[in-house]
Chain A
Amino acid sequence: MAQKIYAGVSVDVNEEGYFTNPAQWTREMAAEVAGEEGINLTDNHYAVLSFLRERYGKGEALTIRSVGNSGIIDIKGFYGLFPGAPMKKAAKIAGIPKPSSCV
């Protein structure tokens, strides 16, 4: 398993850079992961990250549509915050595994 240093702390990540232990995540680390993706985190970003971590903690599926239905932001806005592949980028920055869309 690979290790990476974020906010001065060594954390476990997989080959794609996703946290394998979401408990190691902090807000400061999120800012650094976001920087690697070319994103500057705002309060809106953090609101989405909290939502994703909470949902992940409850074992619920993470989908773009579920973020759109969350009341925090609509899908268009989600794309605006995390351009290109919002769910994959947001999950990476939120320190949770890459969502495996149902097969």
Chain B
Amino acid sequence: MKRLLILGAGTGGTIMANKMRKQLSRDEWDITIVDQHRTHYYQPGFLFVPFGMYNRQDVVKPKTSFLPNGVNVIFQEIDRIDGNESKVLLKDGISLKYNFLVIATGTRVVPEETPGLKGPLWHKNIFDFYTIEGALALAEFFKTWPGGELVLNIADVPIKCPVAPLEFVMFADAFFVERGLRSKVNISYATPMSGAFTKPRASKVLGALLEDKNINIIPDFYLEKVDNDKKAIVSYDDREIPFDCLVTVPVHKGDPMIGRSGLGDEMDFAKANKHTLQSDFFPNIFVIGDAGNFPTSKAGSVVHFQADVLTENLVCAIENRPFTESFDGHANCYIETGFGKGALIDFNYDTEPLPGSFPFPGIGPFGLLKETRMNHYGKLIFRWIYWHILLKGKEMPIDSKMTMAGKKM
């Protein structure tokens, strides 16, 4: 019996388990998936939690509900990957041999990387919304907050879902307007990037949206530390921004197991070919999603598109044929802009987000790089699609390769 081993049962690992179980004969191939946690989080939903739009029940389900029959599940922490011996060592001493390995261990926030961030003010005046605990604590805080300086800070890039911080401040604007508190809340957006977003045309459109909503953008702010006594964030070039409520997007890293296994960069992101998704170190190891050092968004849509490519390429590798698929960096993100509207961006490694309509040229129903009500509904409907279609690896009417059709240059 040969074995395909998948590390991580989040979005990428779950989709791959579903897709590969259909591809590989059950008589010849064992598929085993390992994860240390039993709960699957719908991470795009975390954004809605601080504003009381979703609660915990809306964003959590057991992981086993989404894994197919015929896949073995092991809930255990991973010690390291031994690529030379093609085996994975678990924390409890068990060793798992594999013929092929998929790394889907994701990324995590590491507030400890920034001095003072996880200090006395943590979850008192400082919150993150990239963990369920942080999002829930912030929801409680907002219930009674009388207003003041609300600062959103991105500590460093790359981060998961790069549009989520923009959505957060636009939601905050709408939230405090609706509560009649907006005149008492000053909203700032401090980012290490030189604008609201990295890609020029999207940055211009999104930057203008923030200005319209009276949100101050503070660009090129690279966080060094948090001064808990002064209640201020301090940059490496000694600029200070005072806050009454700091919403932090902490430094992101890959799983420390990647580093221990010698398969990653200095941030523990697994090094892999951005087109074939094959590890730089071993030909029978592949990487998907946030766990990799791919120069595209760390986002569920990317994982979904990568899964199509990886399924093809894994089958090629198993059958000892040249790769037939190449990942183009395709990402597709709904952006909530508040007051029941949303925007949508669609891009890849080479093409920045452009205006137009999606997925059908000239028809939509979604508008690219502009605010519409339909885009907002798209985001809300997506939660259902995620649980029922995407995780199970079923077909979606969107190609894994980005298309120029419907885009305006």
Identify the A interface with B (CB < 8 A): 60-61, 63-66, 69, 75-76, 78-79, 83-85, 88, 100-103
Contacts and interface: CB of A to CB of B under 8 A. Distances in A.
Given A69-B266, A76-B224, A103 B331 contact: yes
Contacts, number: 54
Nearest to A75: B236
Interface residues of A: mostly helix, strand, loop or mixed? loop
B224 A60 contact: no
A63 B237 contact: no
Interface of B: 156-158, 162, 192-194, 197-199, 220, 222, 224, 236-237, 251, 265-267, 293, 295-298, 331, 347
A79 B237 contact: yes
B278 to A, nearest CB: 15
A63 B108 CA distance: 18
Contacts of B266: 65-66, 69
A84 B156 contact: no
A19 B251 CA distance: 30
A88 B194 contact: yes
A103 B236 contact: no
A69 B113 CA distance: 13
Contacts of B267: 65
B296 A102 contact: yes
A61 B295 contact: yes
A3 B93 CA distance: 61
A61 B198 contact: no
B237 A101 contact: no
10 contacts: A63-B157, A64-B156, A65-B156, A69-B266, A75-B236, A101-B192, A102-B158, A102-B162, A102-B296, A103-B197
A63 B295 contact: no
A101 B224 contact: no
A84 B267 CA distance: 24
B237 A102 contact: no
A65 B331 CA distance: 25
B197 A63 contact: no
